[in-house]
Amino acid sequence: MIPHKTARGAAALDRIKLFEGVPAPYDRVKRMVVPDALRVLRLKPGRKYTTIGRISHEVGWKYQDIVAKLEEKRKAKSAAYYQRKVALAAIQKKAVESKADSIKDINTSIAALGY
Binned at pLDDT 50, 70 and 90, residue 11 comes out as very high
Q: Cα separation of 91 and 87, whole Å?
A: 6
Q: How far is CA 61 from CA 19, 48, 50, 51, 65, in A?
A: 13, 22, 15, 13, 10
Q: What is the pLDDT of residue 23?
A: 87
Q: Is the pTM of this model over 0.85?
A: no
Q: Cα separation of 81 and 10, whole Å?
A: 40
Q: Cα separation of 97 and 29, whole Å?
A: 31
Report pLDDT digits (tens) over 14-70: 999 888 778 888 888 888 999 999 999 999 999 999 988 899 899 999 998 998 898
